[in-house]
């Protein structure tokens, strides 16, 4: 069964408690941390994590789109993240950071932008808990899905079958009820969804429909 991680970037933060009620049945809550350097937008940081810790939320799935991920990643684990995702392109000593995140007690995912090939992850795959395939150029919610980037899901699924590695495959950017079925049959386990959940009239129903999808 597929899992859903609604992205709070698409929520109305003026009423965060009621927005969180919309996603009670989700598997995770996706937090997009952006620094205005790695991506052309600035969003949230540790203060939002501290706020969420006082509220009723699904397990937190933190996506770090920052240049200095190795400096900040562990703080997010300490603040309660279940998953911490870092971008391979933004971390010099990726193996070290992934190991540290896991030692601290979170699942460590690595993300790749639309342009690098799956082969660039070959050496890190045995160490990570998951790969987050970006199907938009990171930075904003409600962007158009990039079809060619989603091909990486199939490629990662082949690698997973050939090697017997147990990493999860997550997909982020432009995911909707319309394309979710194909993504899950290609091999995606976790679907990050911003606008398609928070800006829908029936978010709970969208989440339930996604959770019913299987390969």
Nearer to ligand DX5, 70 or 111 (CB): 111
What's the rounded Cα separation, in Å, for the pair 204 and 199?
11
Q: Are 159 and 118 in contact (CB under 8 A)?
A: yes
Concerning whether 32 is annotated as a catalytic residue, the answer is yes
Residue nearest to ligand DX5 (CB): 194
Nearer to ligand DX5, 20 or 196 (CB): 196
Q: 73 to 132, contacts with ligand DX5 by CB under 6 A?
A: none
Task: Please tell me whether residue 170 binds ligand DX5 under the rule CB under 6 A.
Answer: no
Binding mask 43-72 for Zn ion (x = CB under 5 A): --------------------x---------
What's the rounded Cα separation, in Å, for the pair 35 and 98?
20
CB of 120 vs ligand DX5, minimal distance in Å: 19
Residues in contact with Zn ion by CB under 5 A are: 32, 63, 172
């Amino acid at each position: 069964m597929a899992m859903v991680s609604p992205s709070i970037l698409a929520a109305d933060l003026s009423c965060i408690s009621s927005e969180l009620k919309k996603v009670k049945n989700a598997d995770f809550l996706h937090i997009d941390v952006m620094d205005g350097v790695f991506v052309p937008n600035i969003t949230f940081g540790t203060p939002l994590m501290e706020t969420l810790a006082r509220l009723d939320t699904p397990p937190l799935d933190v996506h770090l789109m920052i240049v200095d991920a190795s400096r900040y990643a562990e703080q997010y684990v300490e603040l309660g993240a279940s998953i911490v995702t870092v971008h391979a392109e933004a971390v010099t000593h990726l193996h070290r950071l992934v190991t540290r995140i896991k030692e601290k007690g979170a699942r460590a995912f690595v993300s790749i932008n639309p342009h690098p090939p799956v082969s660039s992850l070959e050496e890190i795959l045995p160490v990570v808990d998951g790969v987050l395939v970006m199907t938009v150029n990171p930075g904003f919610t409600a962007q158009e899905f990039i079809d060619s980037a989603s091909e990486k899901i199939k490629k990662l699924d082949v690698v997973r079958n050939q090697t017997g590695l147990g990493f999860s495959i997550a997909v982020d950017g432009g995911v909707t009820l319309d394309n979710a079925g194909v993504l899950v049959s290609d091999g995606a386990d976790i679907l990050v969804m911003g606008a398609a959940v928070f800006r829908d009239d029936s978010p709970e129903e969208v989440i339930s429909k996604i959770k019913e999808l299987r390969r």
